[in-house]
Amino acid sequence: MDDARRGPVRHATAADEDDVVAVLCDAFSNDPVCRWIIPDPVRRRELLPSVFRAFTREAAADGRVYLAGDGLGALLLVNTPARDGDHDRVRGSGAASSAQRSADLAQEFADRLLTCTRLLAAHHPGEPAHLYIPLVGARRGHQGRGIGSTLVASALAESAGAPVYLEATSRRSLRLYRRLGFARRGPELRLPDGPALFPAWWDPSSGCTG
């Protein structure tokens, strides 16, 4: 059976927090951006939970958290109002700050997380108000089977006419988002001596939700 059909997409609750964090940790354990932030694989396994827990809590407080495929995938969605000047440059900065303050996150990695957050914030659209997907992923062994597409399509279907923004962490994922109606927005964002991210924007007028 297609993994995307093994379980319905649903809104996660506070009781699902550990499951969401576990899914994201597994999904991003070998992600190029996560490898850049925490290069050592052992330390990455130890530290990613605190990072993703902070992001999950921010989405739960000011957005939505989705689970799919019997806990095989997760997506975070954050409401992002239009901003004035440099105020609230990007949702996710608060979550990054919480992760940086974690006693478990060594200063070396906290600095790299801050560098990544600042890069994304500097290029995040200021207007119009929109929804932001900071993280979406499927467990290893279940990637490329439609789970991510199903999660994103569910989020788009519930966008209530709002545009949606995200940064793809690979060209492969960018191709997936393009199939769902996203278009590139601006240049690629490259971390110092590291990987590139690819900003993308979905306009509800495209009529495409996957």
Q: Where are the domains of the chain?
A: 3-206
| pLDDT at site 4 | 47
As a whole number, mean pLDDT of residues 25-50 equals: 93
Give the pLDDT confidence of 144-196 residue by residue, as tens digits.
788 999 999 999 999 999 999 999 999 999 999 999 999 999 999 999 999 99
Is the pLDDT at 99 greater than 80, yes or no? no
The CATH number of domain 3-206 is 3.40.630.30: yes
| pLDDT at site 37 | 93
As a whole number, mean pLDDT of residues 124-150 equals: 91
Is the pLDDT at 1 greater than 90, yes or no? no
What six digits make up the tokens of 167? 């940064």
| pLDDT at site 88 | 47
Is the pLDDT at 87 greater than 60, yes or no? no
d(CA 171, CA 41): 23
Where are the alpha helices (H) located in the chain, listed in sequence order?
17-27, 32-37, 41-61, 93-101, 107-123, 147-157, 171-179
